[in-house]
Structure 1
């Protein structure tokens, strides 16, 4: 996952108000419910030491218009009396209202709650063409159509079975239309950067399209026998197929990332101290965070710059910062990764096998002088 969308959070000083809300239930989209959540969040921020202007900015954001319909949650980040980032969440937070007043924005939950849902391209296919739809954590949108030839598309009746020329024409039309649908899918995938492609419709049509997709897309493709173009197709069953395909993509991505991490040897590190050293030297190429890991909430010390991070408060003096602030290790490392262009990957203990020790690991741009894993 690219972290460039977080860069605006690190271009201004803190401290920061970070609020994660569960907005998935219908009742929570009402003005009264939003006002109640806003008061609860701002009261918690004040008790943690937030200034009045920043608390008021959060209150106004939370009592304003709700986020995109169907969202499961919302993450709001504010500093200096201004909301800097307001982002919908694809997955609800574990608590209805979670607040944090801290030196760095509390962004680690955002990776797990907002960014793990892949972009899915769904093609509703029949013999004539296909309707294309893109699904993201923010909702669904039409992505146009692929329209092929509309005649001849039906095989002849019993009296015309001897007309082999007509039968070949029908077959040719089917094959031509499948080719057109495949081309449209390739174009749409490139434009939407879709991670998963779901082909929905009758088995013959979807498999014909599947065969025509480029080899580079084959590992993204899943077929579903539900929800085709025909009237009465089961949208609910198709939704379940799309959800399973998205979850499997997330699992495969996490597993592939850990495979890269475990096979890197000299260019991999795990644990707080080696990663802090790597962050100071801009050596993190890809960061891995396991929310269940014990090191994620370890205290480190930070200055205003991404490479001003230290394990001990006394070390921060050597980094040019006389008044360092306390921060969580995961948030400090995510800041360093975001500002040096390194992606991040969330992994879980229950999904992909062995995770980095303590829940924090990284692939490095070059090895450290004293070895990799520690």
Structure 2
């Protein structure tokens, strides 16, 4: 996963407030529940010396995702009295939290974005238009393209149109061009089809070889009406995509396993990870989920200013640095600042020393 979306978090020096809040609306009186949760976090921020303007900037955004139904959350960052970044989360945070420190607590947001798979959902349904003699039939076509799982709560590009049934053969050609363009431009890896059996089957038969590996046909073709603010086919996509890695990530993990077989001391564990990020040598930062790294790091003002001890930073010629208790925050800043990617893998599938590793851009050997 690319980390460019985090750029606003590092555009200005800290301190910065990082808030994760459950803003679910699947309960009675959600606004009151959100307000109670926020008041607790507000007190915590002020107790840790956050300034009032920064706290107010966060407060202005809390609960503004009310158009999204069901379970979800918010990640909100503010600094120096201004909002820096606000995202709706596809799942509520594991716990509400509010931190005020020199680095943003970006790791929970990043992990909620994984595996970050580009997809499309396409539905084709017969509808009858009222008219003399019972009316005429049309095909209703709806499609949505996005990235899983973030577009669960911020539906992606959506289109909707109706066409006469007899025009479907020509529409198939047009739709297939759009899908191929989506694969070429956005790297779409899965296209989920559902709806009228005749229309869906004819689309699959006409698909060019480029799409064959991406097309998935749902057995149940009935019309799905998503809840407000939720993705089309959310439940089905969760089954299909939650335990999958993007093709690019699979290739990077294969490359990592090759490096680990040859040079494990350079690519696995917290010491190797810190050393690679210091040298801008990390192509990809790899975390185990759940993340469990029980130690602090020392960091300075630049992304590559991180080390296992303050003495190491002094040896690099730094005079201003601090001990950073949020190891994930330091590692994510370093990865984003050195244009490294990120992959999260379950611990039981690929256990890593200290729960962290790197794929190197070069090994130097």
Question: Structure 1, residues 224-272: CA drift from partner, whole Å, max 9, x if none?
Answer: 13345xxxx3558954323212224348776554333212345761111
Equivalent residue for 2:257, pick from 255, 262, 269: 262
Matches within 5 A, 1:20-39: 20-27=20-27, 30-39=30-39
Q: 2:204 aligns with which of 201, 210, 231?
A: 210
Measured in 2, the distance between the counterparts of 1:367 and 1:29 equals 56
Q: Note the residue ranges of structure 2 that are not aligned, 5 or more in a row.
A: 127-138, 227-231
1:356 paired to 2:352 = yes
Query: What residue number does 2:329 align with?
Result: 331
The equivalent of 1:77 in structure 2 is 77
User: Superposed, which structure 2 residues align to 1:1-374 within 5 Å?
Assistant: 1-27=1-27, 30-62=30-62, 65-66=64-65, 68-70=67-69, 72-95=72-95, 97-116=96-115, 118-125=117-124, 130-135=141-146, 136-140=151-155, 143-144=158-159, 150-151=165-166, 177-190=171-184, 194-227=188-221, 233=223, 239-250=234-245, 257-265=252-260, 266=262, 269-295=267-293, 297-327=294-324, 328-350=326-348, 353-368=349-364
Distance of aligned partners of 1:367 and 1:137 in 2 relative to their CA distance in 1, 3 Å threshold? same
Distance 1:129 1:184 in 2: 17
CA-to-aligned-CA distance 1:56-77 (integer Å, 9 cap, x gap)? 33233326x3365136110011
Contact 1:48 1:101 in 2 (8 A): yes
Q: In 2, distance between residues paired with 1:234 and 1:82?
A: 40
Match of 1:158 in 2: none
CA contact (8 A) 1:134 1:192 kept: no
The TM-score, its normalising length taken from structure 2, stands at 0.80
- Closer, same or farther: CA 234–2 of 1 in aligned 2, 3 Å: closer
The structure with more radius of gyration = 1
Q: Residues 107-158 of structure 1, C-alpha deviation per residue, up to 9 Å, x if partnerless?
A: 111122234454431111369673322352333366335777743xxxxxxx
Call closer, same or farther: CA 1:318–1:104 in 2, change over 3 Å.
Answer: same
Matched residue SS, 1:62: coil
RMSD: 3.2
Greater shift after overlay, 284-293 or 28-37?
28-37
Aligned residues: 339
TM-score (norm 1): 0.78
Distance between the aligned counterparts of 1:54 and 1:180, measured in 2? 50
Distance 1:361 1:213 in 2: 40
SS for the counterpart of 1:347 is strand
The structure carrying a bigger helix percent of its residues is: 1
Q: d(CA) in 2 for partners of 1:364 and 1:28?
A: 50
Relative to structure 1, is the Cα distance of residues 145 and 85 closer, same or farther in structure 2, using a 3 angstrom cutoff? Answer: closer
